[in-house]
Structure 1
């Protein structure tokens, strides 16, 4: 939960920094581009969620080779998706922004931000995998350190590049690319220290049944995420059509909404790890206890929020 809370804080810092430039079109551009990234990157959030589950199951089963294989398979998939997104960034951006219907000035600013930040795609998706794998291995402290580190570096660079060097919206995008790249390198180093090696028998790495199982789970999560994204995209598009100032105001409110959303998402991480590990160990009693525990905490936090 602590790691998740720093993510919406990053959005607040970026919004505040761009807001200091005094141009609604830039703030609206960041809002439009941020939702565009939600459409793109949240769609592949299965890389984190599924990796948590599969890594936890391998841990519960005591299968050290499969623990490695889960990480490497997911990283290969993340790299393929990330490189594809970079190659398709121009038509992808044009398609998303034309659907949102923002003003010409806002769309131009959003496009600049989108094209720069999309270079972080392989590293950001790779971070989804590594952080999910660490949570699945019950190494939440290390996942926390990496996630908080990424966000703190991003915040510091955003303030420096946007307000210090006056790079504007390009500075905010560049800060994210640099932070995600640094986080990916740190995450790989952490995983290597825990595993000792990334070597896996070729037959296990390319096992068709395991790949199909992973892709089937990813498909189901992707459908759920697409439905969620559709709601955010609809309201952002309505704000964009209402004018630059309305869109900019909605960007501020959106960041506050994300604080509660990311905080509660920590419960999902806990559920994935606890249930996955007990499932891998074939311990039905522990599995039932984990489900009841997470449900109680979820109901408590839901009522409090």
Structure 2
């Protein structure tokens, strides 16, 4: 049974664990890009597009971690550890089913997808299409195991097992890091495979992590009071309802940011480069703030499962204060480093000049994001995914997307695009703050 009032230390442990798991894959991707980049521009482009496809797929399926955390945490808080483990088992079945279906669909369609994304207007682009399709066809076989990792992360966060997920992810990506260097360039005892070596390394690393999570859930079932590893239609059905809401919410993010990139590109090379630099910093801060939100999910879900409304409210307050403090400190760093930090990414005077506009929108938005991410985590922990879906869609359709496209029509440039992002965050802030204050999320006991 979790403590009635989680300490700052407990929140910190959950946050650091979540951050380590969230940040490890992007760090591995940087290594992968650096290793493949030495093969040549075509190979680097092929890898970039291939990893983009995998990223879009995994982003749309994050319900396997976030939804499972909320449901398993509530059962854990109610003292039903076996039920919490069962949520992990059923999420794992969904992961395998969806993963196998994606492999079956994407393997034959890989060349088509690459042609749509890259085009075939030149000999170089045709080579990128061929190389990218080959990379994707190998790497896609790791998708079921990537999804297993998501499900495993979800239920283990729910039962507040903070150490093992970090170990599993680090072990898998460490093996991949060795293999990507060895197989891509033929270092040491490894054959030189070129770009396919990167795909094999990705497949083995992700596969190892997924296998470790699968072994863990099987062992947990065998040690639990109700050892059931077969699919349970009732639990799977309930998880898929939450999945629907979270997928729609995630899709709204994707549409907004893809639209922003498309409009920024129409303002010129320097504008889109500046936009992407600041956007990468925003995505990094999103990972950091999301780790605090994951801590809120786990603790709030457990508290409500135990019927401890006071503990849930206290956790919401503590996590929000911590998130705002962290975001405010980051905003101060980025404000003070406005003249220096962008130069770490580029020395082009035109890009540096263009960065000034989105930079200050980014700085101003961080404290707002601190509140929004924390309260998102609170509401996800409470299982309030339907509300979050509706609020996010409304903010996207009513704020972000109109300003993005009006920026193109009226030539507002990056100021218009980033104004849209700020409005998006403000609308979400109003929605989640009102929801939390209303108390409608404080539903205690078990969920169906």
Task: Place the TM-score, normalised by the shorter chain, in its bin.
Answer: 0.7 to 0.9
TM-score by length of 2: 0.60
RMSD of equivalent CA atoms: 3.1
Q: Give how far 1:137 is off.
A: 0.8
Unpaired segments ≥5 residues, structure 2: 1-18, 120-124, 267-271, 331-448
1:289 equivalent to 2:314? Answer: yes
Q: Is contact 2:84–2:158 with CA below 8 Å preserved after alignment?
A: no
1:275 equivalent to 2:300? Answer: yes
Q: Give the alignment of 1:1-305 within 5 angstroms.
A: 1-21=19-39, 23-94=40-111, 96-102=113-119, 103-163=125-185, 164=187, 165-197=191-223, 200=227, 206=232, 208=234, 210-231=235-256, 233=258, 259-305=284-330
SS at match of 1:88: helix
Hey, what's the Cα distance between the residues in 1 that align with 2:277 and 2:195?
16
Distance 1:4 1:80, change over 3 A: same
Q: Give how far 1:178 is off.
A: 0.7
TM-score by length of 1: 0.86
Unpaired segments ≥5 residues, structure 1: 242-246
Q: Give how far 1:237 is off.
A: 7.2
Moved more, 116-125 or 251-260: 251-260
SS at match of 2:171: helix
Hey, what's the Cα distance between the residues in 1 that align with 2:46 and 2:149?
25
Distance 1:250 1:177, change over 3 A: farther
Structure of larger gyration radius: 2
SS at match of 1:166: coil
Distance 1:93 1:226, change over 3 A: farther
Q: Give how far 1:231 is off.
A: 4.5
Distance 1:261 1:170, change over 3 A: farther
Higher relative contact order (CA 8 A, sep 6+): 1
Structure number with the higher helix fraction is: 1
Distance 1:253 1:159, change over 3 A: farther
Hey, what's the Cα distance between the residues in 2 that align with 1:174 and 1:184?
15
Q: Give how far 1:29 is off.
A: 1.0
Hey, what's the Cα distance between the residues in 2 that align with 1:178 and 1:276?
34
Q: Is contact 1:12–1:252 with CA below 8 Å preserved after alignment?
A: no
